[in-house]
Amino acid sequence: MNEVTRKNEKDTVTEQRFLISDLCELISQYMDKEQVKEVYNAYLFGAQAHEGQLRASGEPYIYHPIAVARILAQMNMDVKSIVASILHDVLEDTPATRKLIEKEFGQDVAHLVDGVSKLTHIKFKNKIEQQAENIQKVLLAMAKDIRVIMIKLADRLHNMRTLGALKPEKRRRIAQETLEIYVPIANRLGIYVIRHELEDLVLQAIHPLRYRVLEHAINKSSGHRKELIDKINQALGARLVDMSIEAQTVSRKKHLFSVYNKMRDKRLPFSKILDMYALRVLVDSVDDCYRVLGIVHNLFKPIPGRFKDYIAIPKSNGYQSLHTALYGPHGIPMEVQIRTQEMDKFAESGIAAHWLYKAPDEKGEITAHARARDWLTGILEMQQSAGDSMEFLENVKVDLFHDEVYVYTPDGDIMKLPRNATPVDFAYAVHTDIGNHCVAAKLDHSFAPLNTPLYSGQTVEIVTSPASRPNAAWLNYVVTAKARSNIRNYLKNMQADEAMSQGRRLLERCLKPLGMRLDDVKKENLELALEEYGFSDIGELLGDVGLGNRPPSLVVRKLVPERVSDGESEETKEMKSQSALAINGTEGMVVSYGRCCYPIPGDQIVAKLSKGRGIVVHRDCCKNLESSSQRKKLDKYIDVQWSDAASGDFSCEVKLEIENKSGLLARTATVISDCGADIENVFMEDRDGFSMSLLFQLKVTDRNHLATIMRRLRRISSVMRIARQ
């Protein structure tokens, strides 16, 4: 590659990113000559593969891989990572194959390059699905080798640095994706140096004017704030010398995105952001951290409620430090962070600070690697239970975006959970089986509902029962990805089992008029039907019928073609006039009830097969159904009737027209409650000032129960009219 003419010092800094000689000089500081040679060979391979390709800015494409490699080299990443970063786009954008890369640079590099590459040869329905599939691919590759995500983060960082060459709409889309996915991943892995720069670049891309205004305001206020930091630094430095504590003090400026977020979330003007600068004290040991904390609090008055001990209880990404806020000179609040040198390295580079592929620490210290591995194990569990890439991506986002609460198990162990987590989240965090079988929870030794938000310091105890099962309602309030994916997976399997059972019932019912059962169907007929429908076994066919995707009468014609012809034979007519299917009200997820007519036991009903939902039961008089004569011609309708043993609570609607008097709503609600019915919802409409309409959604057991409620409501003198909807 030709050297670029350097015009001034600023250009030199910019162009160093693109020079292979500068990259080799950088990595030679921690690699041997053979490794540097391997990196150079990767550059020659990449330059040849990308020859003639240009980026949107007009630069040769090879500039980008070298810039990505330089970002990783500044974090002292290993030689395989550097080589893979130079080659990370060759599979996607050039004719080079994985086999060729594996032959030239080894299996590890080929795996890393393949993990970072997008799925370009698959057609997707839309951009969102494509994004979900690509991110799923990267995360699963990351779970096997965490260097994949390090390369991807460096790739995204350089792309964000060079967004200026793209159209505004594309800039905003890439920036939004970065904020939703890559910033939280960098935070989760503790790589703050990348996270902070990505956040600032996102703000610059999405809100360029706000970025420029804030940048100008911060630069303008730098002098005054820094003067205060210097005064605190001098006072603290003198006291540290007196106490014979070796320490290094540095000032830290709050990054721009953090300032913007604080102003937006707390609705503060820029002048009220008082922790723009903070003092960071670096010492040699944990013991010195707490000694320095005592000195700081002795010198300056601490602000109550602003002390955080992340050394005793590290953040979920392994970050450790002591944070305290105090009133500095002139009473202006200032923040002080106290940590060891090792903690500071980790705070900047996260998992890259203690490289994953080195031998583990003999002391068994809590490192980023162990925490990252725990999270990645959870990623694999989510992938196994997720239905598709969209659901997987949703679960990952839920897991990435959270603040934390710290609660205790009955044994006194500390559990970290996201903000607004519930006892159900806690149960699944302890063990999947405990989550699946939890029935109640005790918070600080007192029973509490399972949807109660947890707060730091609480002791949580889960009560379980072998007969208990996950409830679909839990999905309305759980916040952890593990709880959500396990509940969905269980319900999905339960629905599949119920669909198979329902499908068998429907087929047996169609076969009964022919004097047959499902077991009597010839094996060759069954195999032909399975082949035609594309199923591998009868369980899949039964599930498909049970979910309403395939009318049972049509399936029976395939299973016993010798008994049922396509014409209107006597046996075909007999199939259509078969006995009604009994509905118990407890069938589960493959039988639902129309929200248009709210059928309840005692009503004349009819069922309609609905794709993906199974049987949907309607009242015979429902306006959304075809006429009775038309239904007989359609295979999607099934004759059903309520079983004598029908049980459960069923929704229905009752509309009242009443005089507009004070206290009438409370009175009607009391009558309904006294009759043993639950009110799901109530809607009110003022008609003419003298009367109003009340629409109650109730839970009743059957038609007789509803009739009792309506008779009691009619006795209220102010009720002018009452009718079931």
d(CA 120, CA 101): 18
92 is catalytic: yes
Tokens of 172: 């905003």
Which is the catalytic residue, given 93, 180, 394, 649?
A: 93
**Strands 650-659, 637-642: pairing kind:** unpaired
The CA distances from residue 328 to 220, 225, 244, 254, 723, in Å, are: 21, 11, 23, 17, 71
Rg (CA), the chain: 34
| 444 neighbors 458 (Cβ within 8 angstroms) | yes
d(CA 172, CA 202): 8
Consecutive H or E run containing 354: none
d(CA 383, CA 394): 11
**Strands 637-642, 581-583: pairing kind:** parallel
d(CA 610, CA 619): 16
Which is the catalytic residue, given 15, 22, 59, 92?
A: 92
Residues recorded for the chain = 725
DSSP annotation of 493 reads: H
- Phi, psi angles (nearest 5°) of residue 97: -110, 165
d(CA 357, CA 367): 13
Tokens of 116: 């970072």
CA angle 81, 193, 406 (to 5 degrees): 105
Secondary structure of 588-636 as H, E, C letters: CCCEEECCCCCCCCCCCEEEEEECCCEEEEEECCCCCCCCHHHHCCCCC
**Strands 277-283, 333-340: pairing kind:** parallel
d(CA 109, CA 89): 13
Residue type, 456: S
Q: Which residues pair with 440 in a beta bridge?
A: 463
Strand, helix or coil for residue 77 = coil
d(CA 313, CA 38): 42
DSSP annotation of 360 reads: P
649 is catalytic: no
Question: What is the CB neighbour count within 10 angstroms for residue 555?
Answer: 21
Residues forming the active site: 92-93
